[in-house]
Amino acid sequence: MADFKVPLRDIRFSLHEVLDYTTKCESLTGYEEVGSDLLDAVLEEAAKFVEQELAPLNAIGDQQGCSWNDGVVSTPEGFKEAYAKYVDGGWAGLSADPEFGGQGLPPSMATLVSEMAGTANWAWAMYPGLSHGAHNTITAHGTDQQKQTYLGPLTTGEWTGTMCLTEPHCGTDLGLLRTRAEPNEDGSYALHGTKIFISAGEHDMTDNIVHIVLARLPDAPKGTRGISLFIVPKFLPKADGTVGARNGVACGSIEHKMGIHGNATCVLNFDGATGYLIGPPNRGLNCMFTFMNTARLGTALQGLAHAEAGFQGSLDYARERLQMRSSSGRKNPDKPADPIIVHPDVRRMLLIQKALAEGGRLFVHSLAMDVDIVESDASDEIKGRADQRLALLTPIAKAFLTETGFESANHGIQIFGGHGFIQEWGMEQNVRDCRISMLYEGTTGIQALDLLGRKVIGSQGGLLRQFITEITDFCDHHKGDRNMANTIATLKTHCDEWEHITTQITMRAMTDADEVGAASVDYLMYSGYIVLAYMWAMAQATALNALASDNCTEEDFYQAKIATAKFYYDRLLPRTRSLVATMEAGADSLMALDAEHFSF
Amino acid sequence: MADFKVPLRDIRFSLHEVLDYTTKCESLTGYEEVGSDLLDAVLEEAAKFVEQELAPLNAIGDQQGCSWNDGVVSTPEGFKEAYAKYVDGGWAGLSADPEFGGQGLPPSMATLVSEMAGTANWAWAMYPGLSHGAHNTITAHGTDQQKQTYLGPLTTGEWTGTMCLTEPHCGTDLGLLRTRAEPNEDGSYALHGTKIFISAGEHDMTDNIVHIVLARLPDAPKGTRGISLFIVPKFLPKADGTVGARNGVACGSIEHKMGIHGNATCVLNFDGATGYLIGPPNRGLNCMFTFMNTARLGTALQGLAHAEAGFQGSLDYARERLQMRSSSGRKNPDKPADPIIVHPDVRRMLLIQKALAEGGRLFVHSLAMDVDIVESDASDEIKGRADQRLALLTPIAKAFLTETGFESANHGIQIFGGHGFIQEWGMEQNVRDCRISMLYEGTTGIQALDLLGRKVIGSQGGLLRQFITEITDFCDHHKGDRNMANTIATLKTHCDEWEHITTQITMRAMTDADEVGAASVDYLMYSGYIVLAYMWAMAQATALNALASDNCTEEDFYQAKIATAKFYYDRLLPRTRSLVATMEAGADSLMALDAEHFSF
């Protein structure tokens, strides 16, 4: 694959020009000073780091994978050294509290760096990425002593963290989990059980790993209301903060997986491991759901990452590979054939990738800014609105951007033809690495139930109405703009339809609960296409505005935005037509067959 | 993955009940005696063979892959032994001429066995599968002496064959190929050049490999009109038919690929290799296109194979895995959770797989029967119609069934949740193995241009009208049937729309040639959904008929067919709505951007 380049110009377009990042930071308590100069300096340094240190390890990580030997996990060549540079560069604590050694920048800055790192090398980026869950849990629910012990090394990145949820018999349905925590005399607990699919659960990159483990206390109620959280460090920290005795948690094996080979997916056996209760007993799931949006946004990012990687790889190839002549007359008469980018169907795939990556970037950035607001805005009303917006849009971002990221990654293979199937070009790795994103942190189906059942119907339409009002306000603001007329009209029609369909499904669900699950994934994808249509409308408006200015020096850049917006409305938004039809079909034909009659 | 079972009941439904296979054989010269007893006996024996010998090697083949050592390629453990049993069982020559040791059954019988073998283990099935191209080429274009030398061992399977087309700089665009053939004094040729992506190009399963190689004669015109075909055996056969001296063709390396690891994808270096011209000079591409339909049908089969494998694997899992309760009340009160098949979205994915696999099976079988007719029907008129039907439907089958096969394979992962990403369940292998099917034998984009450009517009709509007449006749035949009324009405509407859209695109293409490429893939997928709607309408009619009979003993089976047909019309056919919208959008937004403005 060609060298990965961070799309800095597009990131700046999104943040500065469309979303007005630095102005928004001014109203955030503690982040008033994050001006565009600081932002750009950080972005440029981060881009250098990921291009030079992480991108070159992406293929190596896939080919070597991790290895397990008697409980010890070795990461691929260079991973450990790159991680050391990451820690030395202060990247781990970019958005963390200065009290514990962080840089004190808004959370969105960490998201932007994760976007870059993840696009360069997703498997590597998961090691620091997974620490956020542990870090956030201890920040929000830890005692002072727990904070003093763990937050320092988690902030600097000297230690990493994990979240240990899944067990062999339960993933989605955590109410079934069996790992148990028995009280020790000293107030700690002895944990017994097996966790699976623990990403970065064991590795050789840091001196210690801090596991946050879901387990049951002896007297815990059944189901999800009997789950507590425990801190279980790989090595028990000593009073002076250094690493002490090995704890009773061991990596029993690592999984052989389709992709993300560079990241160790571990079976962890807890055999009387010492754990410390964090947060109130039996409220573990609630404590954990606090960060659900952040974790899911982190996975939405993965969809964007693979869309961008697929786009970059296949765009380079499509410009260079000579094959056949253009149907509308040869474009490259001196050569034996034209570059394949002349062919309409190759362009179709490239433009799908481009529209999804650039539109997805705007979507992710706008949510990352909501996270900042929820954390730090001075106004409770603004905070509340951002929180509602995040609640509605996070499941859409997670599922829609990973599903469409997978599509974009697959177009990457397709544009390469047979070569796309071969390891050396990187396109097939991009697909394999991407595939997990639709599964972990809640499958697409789970996101869809969360969206339609909990968020939309659960708020009696309130969350949806707030967001549609935001879009309608945007439309009203641009209603006099002749160049935006088609876009605005189409967007408004879709918003009306969105409300109408929501009402229809809600009515049907009153008499048949299965109607929610029957419509949910189509509803989520439908919603995703409208959200991205809104993003592209904003991009178009911004580009038109820039072109109208007297001193525009980047006409081609802005014209490309306008052309891509038109492509999106012509070629991607119409996917809603089929989704409307299938949502309207209802649950009947899904529920008709008995389970034993699916095959004979 | 659970043990693979050949879906014999469904294969029989397709052949005997819907497509009336044995009656049709009666009018085929030489195949009048293929009664249902013979057919069923062969199918059952073949099912035993693939279930016992091939399915157990599928995961092994993926994990071990092929290895290359100084030109020698070793296949995975057990592949060679299974191949020997295949040859001993007479499977290789099932549909071949008895004069050369074949069993003299119609070509469709070989397709049916390929379907089974390919579903059990696609990578293995490619070794005998690839021989057909060489076998057919020599049968159609070889001299008597060439036939005597090669057809015997190719028929029995003692030797395998390959087709050597692709070169590093050309795949789709064969006009660019450079391999050259220089005349030797004895009438043979010395071939020089490098071929890549040669499936089964080198292996340890047979004593000899017969390569059919595309190359240029010294005085050949440029482009596609200067390509000739050559037989280049790995070992030069001696006069007595045994294997003689090693020829100058060597395997330089094998590719590291996303999937089909058990099949060796070879770089073949021709270094003065002795070759024998087959067919007229400079007419190689034309000779080869004779078998294009057969080869593409063989790949359409792969889509069906992976759809079926994904369906079987995930259906077993969905019935067993307990996770969450049904929204409409617990279905499994004695257990801690319900099996996931109760959830509407899991059912949605299973039914998509089922509808695509069973509908795809009908589609492939109906084309396999057309191949029989083209080869052997007594009536030239019937032959001609079948040939026209094949010309239109083969690119649809190849691209539509592989695209939807990939979708089905992916649902297989999704239904397994995180476990789907892990090697041991087989679902991720099924996706990786499937991915190549949209690339080789002409990518989806190439099939789409063939369909819309050459077949539909090229015949001035004639091929399409013939097929729509076939559907309309079916609709007229069932017009009085109340139970078919919705299906028939929907099918007719879609046929009208199909004609209308075809006219629209044809008109636009008159002024802008890029309009064909801009619409082509959407047009192909649109056409595919209508073809499958027709298949499901036939299945529904057959099932209704069976249920109406007094002695129906398989009510559940036929009711399941009717329910799946309804699902198809409710949930899959509506995908045409978006395809219509994107086709209507035309080429403008695809062609607007200059190649250098796709990124900044």
8 Å CB contact of B591 and A567: no
In 3D space, the residue among B71, B479, B426, B53 whose CA is nearest the CA of residue B253 turns out to be B71
A140 lies in which domain range? 8-289
- For residue A339, list chain B residues with Cβ-Cβ distance below 8 A: 595
What integer best gives the mean pLDDT of chain A? 96
The verdict on residue A595 lying in a domain is no
8 Å CB contact of A518 and B345: yes
**What are the tens digits of pLDDT across the range B466-509?**
999 999 999 999 999 999 999 999 999 999 999 999 999 999 99
| Residue B383 confidence (pLDDT) above 70 | yes
- Using the 3D structure, point to which of B413, B442, B471 is the last residue of a domain: B442
The verdict on residue A2 lying in a domain is no
Whether residues A162 and A92 fall in one domain: yes
Whether residues A283 and A296 fall in one domain: no
In 3D space, the residue among B304, B444, B442, B266 whose CA is nearest the CA of residue A422 turns out to be B266
- For residue A322, list chain B residues with Cβ-Cβ distance below 8 A: 169, 173, 176
d(CA B287, CA B225): 12
Whether residues B498 and B432 fall in one domain: no
Using alpha carbons, list the distances in angstroms from residue A242 to A288, B139, B186, B315, B411.
27, 78, 83, 51, 47
Whether residues B166 and B266 fall in one domain: yes
**What are the tens digits of pLDDT across the range A477-504?**
999 999 999 999 999 999 999 999 999 9
Closest chain B C-alpha to A450 CA, distance in angstroms: 13
Confidence (pLDDT) at B260: 98
Confidence (pLDDT) at B540: 98
Confidence (pLDDT) at A168: 95
Using alpha carbons, list the distances in angstroms from residue B590 to A350, A485, B502, B521, B586.
9, 21, 19, 13, 8
Whether residues A170 and A250 fall in one domain: yes
Using alpha carbons, list the distances in angstroms from residue A377 to A386, A437, A471, B342, B528.
10, 31, 22, 44, 53
d(CA B390, CA B470): 13
Do the Cβ atoms of A463 and A454 come closer than 8 Å? no
Choose, out of A345, A514, A577, the residue to mutate when testing the contact with B (most B CBs < 10 Å): A345
What integer best gives the mean pLDDT of chain B? 96
8 Å CB contact of A315 and B599: yes
**What are the tens digits of pLDDT across the range B50-75?**
999 999 999 999 999 999 999 999 99
* Alpha carbon of residue A168 to chain centroid: 24
Nearest by CB to B327, which of A315, A417, A517?
Answer: A517
Q: What angle, rounded to 10 degrees, do the helices at A485-511 and A462-477 form?
A: 170
ipTM of the prediction greater than 0.90, yes or no:
yes
The CATH number given to whatever domain includes residue A256 is 2.40.110.20
Residue that is written with structure tokens 């307990």 in the block = B322
d(CA B543, CA A253): 50
8 Å CB contact of B590 and A574: no
In 3D space, the residue among A360, A352, A323 whose CA is nearest the CA of residue A410 turns out to be A352
| Residue B1 confidence (pLDDT) above 90 | no
8 Å CB contact of A580 and B577: yes
Whether residues B411 and B524 fall in one domain: no
Mean pLDDT along residues A4-9: 97
Token pair for A187: 């107030």
Closest chain A C-alpha to B82 CA, distance in angstroms: 27
The string of DSSP codes covering A158-205 is: SEEEEEE--BTTBSS-GGG---EEEE-TTS-EEEEEEEEEEETSS-SS
The type of residue at B187 is: G
Nearest CA in chain B to A8: B600
Nearest by CB to B417, which of A172, A344, A448?
Answer: A172
Whether residues A140 and A207 fall in one domain: yes
- For residue B524, list chain A residues with Cβ-Cβ distance below 8 A: none
Q: Which phi and psi angles does B168 have, rounded to 5°?
A: -55, -35
Whether residues A102 and A233 fall in one domain: yes
- Using the 3D structure, point to which of B269, B289, B309 is the last residue of a domain: B289
- For residue B586, list chain A residues with Cβ-Cβ distance below 8 A: 570
- Using the 3D structure, point to which of B410, B442, B474 is the last residue of a domain: B442
What's the total number of domains in chain B?
A: 3
The DSSP element (H or E) to which A246 belongs, if any, is strand A243-246
Nearest by CB to B512, which of A258, A328, A348?
Answer: A328
Confidence (pLDDT) at B439: 98
Nearest CA in chain A to B520: A345
For residues B523-542, one letter each, b for 16 or more C-beta atoms within 10 angstroms of the residue's C-beta and e for the rest, the string is: bbbbbbbbbbbbbbbbbbbb
8 Å CB contact of B514 and A259: no
**What are the tens digits of pLDDT across the range B247-267?**
999 999 999 999 999 999 999
Closest chain B C-alpha to A591 CA, distance in angstroms: 7
Closest chain B C-alpha to A260 CA, distance in angstroms: 10
* Alpha carbon of residue A481 to chain centroid: 34
Whether residues B354 and B388 fall in one domain: yes
8 Å CB contact of B593 and A256: no
Choose, out of A457, A593, A596, A597, the residue to mutate when testing the contact with B (most B CBs < 10 Å): A593
Whether residues B194 and B209 fall in one domain: yes
**What are the tens digits of pLDDT across the range B211-223?**
999 999 999 999 9
**What are the tens digits of pLDDT across the range A87-120?**
999 999 999 999 999 999 999 999 999 999 999 9
In 3D space, the residue among B161, B156, B168, B246 whose CA is nearest the CA of residue B200 turns out to be B161
Nearest by CB to A9, which of B9, B585, B600?
Answer: B600
The 3-state DSSP class for residue A422 equals: strand
The verdict on residue A391 lying in a domain is yes
The verdict on residue A526 lying in a domain is yes
The verdict on residue A1 lying in a domain is no
Whether residues A226 and A320 fall in one domain: no
The verdict on residue B266 lying in a domain is yes
The catalytically annotated residue of A53, A167, A407, A441 is: A441
Residue B414: exposed, middle, or buried by beta-carbon count in 10 A (0-12, 13-18, 19+)? buried
User: Counting every residue, how long is chain A?
Assistant: 600
**What are the tens digits of pLDDT across the range A271-322?**
999 999 999 999 999 998 877 888 899 999 999 999 999 999 999 999 999 9
The CATH number given to whatever domain includes residue B405 is 1.20.140.10
8 Å CB contact of B557 and A600: yes
Nearest by CB to A422, which of B256, B571, B581?
Answer: B256
8 Å CB contact of A521 and B258: no
The string of DSSP codes covering B240-299 is: TSSEEEEPSEEEEEE--BSS-TTS-EEEEEEEEEEEEEESSTTBHHHHHHTTHHHHHHHH
- Assign residue A217 a region: left if phi > 0, alpha if psi is -120 to 50, beta otherwise? beta
Closest chain A C-alpha to B1 CA, distance in angstroms: 15
The verdict on residue B3 lying in a domain is no
- For residue A591, list chain B residues with Cβ-Cβ distance below 8 A: 344, 347
Give catalytic residues of B, as residue numbers. Answer: 441
Q: How many CB atoms lie within 10 A of CB B323?
A: 21
Q: Which residues contact A329 (CB under 8 A, 6 or more apart)?
A: none
Token pair for B262: 């058990």
8 Å CB contact of A347 and B438: no
Instruction: Kindly indicate the confidence band of residue A270, based on its pLDDT and cuts at 50, 70 and 90.
Output: very high
Confidence (pLDDT) at A2: 61
| Residue B210 confidence (pLDDT) above 90 | yes
- The model carries a pTM of 0.98
**What are the tens digits of pLDDT across the range A203-249?**
999 999 999 999 999 999 999 999 999 999 999 999 999 999 999 99
The verdict on residue B424 lying in a domain is yes
Whether residues A63 and A48 fall in one domain: yes
In 3D space, the residue among A71, A72, A56 whose CA is nearest the CA of residue A204 turns out to be A72
